[in-house]
Amino acid sequence: MQYETHAHPFAPVMDENCRVLILGSFPSVKSRENAFYYGHPQNRFWKVLAAILNEDEPKTIEEKKSVLLRHHIALWDVIAHCDIVGSGDSSIKNAVPNDLRVVLDKAQIRHVFLNGQTAAKLYQKHHADLSIAYDVLPSTSPANAQWRLDRLIAAWREQILPKIAE
Number of domains in the chain: 1
Can you give the CATH number for the domain in which 112 is found?
Answer: 3.40.470.10
Note whether residue 92 is domain-resident: no
pLDDT of 31-54, one tens digit each?
Answer: 999 999 999 999 999 999 999 999
Rounded distance between C-alpha atoms, residue 123 and residue 145, angstroms: 23
- Give me the pLDDT at residue 90, please: 78
- Give me the pLDDT at residue 97, please: 96
Q: Percentage of the chain surpassing pLDDT 90?
A: 85
Note whether residue 104 is domain-resident: yes
What rounded mean pLDDT belongs to the chain?
Answer: 94
Rounded distance between C-alpha atoms, residue 58 and residue 55, angstroms: 8
Question: Where residue 158 falls among pLDDT bands split at 50, 70, 90?
Answer: very high
Domain that holds residue 63: 12-76+100-165
- Give me the pLDDT at residue 89, please: 74
